[in-house]
Structure 1
Amino acid sequence: MHVIYLVAIAAEAASGALMGMRRRMDLFGLCVVGTVTALGGGSVRDMILGHYPLGWVAHPEYLLFTVGASVAAALWARRLHQLKRAFLLMDALGLVAFTVIGCNIAATTEVHIAVVVLMGMITGVFGGLLRDILCNQVPLVLRRDLYATVSLVTGMLYVALLELGASVNLATSMAILIGFSMRLIAIRFSLALPVLEADLSSFEEENEKR
């Protein structure tokens, strides 16, 4: 699980740095966005659960690791012609890996199984939400993309496999593989949840008259 965590924070830090590059940020901005993206979701989860100290406080080397991953992604991205594709891949990997990690940590606090899944989703999506806010962009989690839904399904699958007696390694591998595949399929075929629309023109006209 520790190895998966390092992969997850590296992937999310890279996604944050790539997003910062698309917004033409300087090196300091890339490192800030990358670090917030990588560590933000876990920090929010731990504060909700009262799980202290926060991971990066207990292990400050994670800060250096995320900064390094951000710089490496920025340097590597110069050789890429399509930053968007690299960003989506890194973000998808970080999303599902953090979801599983969040579920695993929440389970150790002996909270209800529904809370375990919710904490997994918060861990998975909140770093990306903070990243998008810092980059002045509508967060992915609030758009039509299957984003939070993928995180939710990944967490539910992980918990269900554990409940059925699967080993932690098997449950982790299956959940990450299936969740990552779901996210890539959603991106490839532009799968999205339905948008509820309504004609509010008469309502707006009535308000203007008032």
Structure 2
Amino acid sequence: MPIPQDAPAIDRRLLRDDVYHRLRDAIVDGTLAPGEQLRDLDLAAWLGVSRTPVREALLRLAEAGLVAAQPGRSTVVSSLSERAVREARDVVAAMHRLAVRESVGNLSAENLDAMRAANTRFREAIAAGDTEAALAADDELHDVCVRVAANAALAAVLDQYTPVLRRAERLQFSSVAGPASADRHDELIAALAARDAERAERIAATVWTTLPTQDDATARP
């Protein structure tokens, strides 16, 4: 699809991370479709910034596997392969397992209540067929452990690789598997409340390793 003409410009004073996040989100939500050519001049005009932060963002997106860039040639939005999704899935699962391990002894009653409330919203969104709301609630739930763990390296890895899984998450949360994700969230919260680190780690990993790859989704009846 063509570059949108009606997006609000980013405040020039904001950090270059904002450019990266805007482009990343546009790829994840399909605004910038797989195979679409990305010209830094067009993107800079769309976002209201100079070409430098756009070029830096494209390099970061290439590292995450969301775009394919070749020196001296065009940059395009990647069509994620099954291997790319599986690799990102394994990394993200390992990071969330670590977040649980580092946070389980420090979670407050308020933290656990926040996770329960997020899962309630997640369930309601799944029932309503609202994939965007389900993804937002899912993020809120898992971010509790990430914040309490307070591990900057862990958070940086998640920021890089979680977007690669968004297409897989959209498939799962819009399918019959969505309610099963809510049930696993309940099990995770119960294990965290009991301070059962081993069980909580195992469940946290399972939440992510059961996400479908593209091939899984293609095979779904």
TM-score range, shorter chain: 0.3 to 0.5
TM-score by length of 2: 0.32
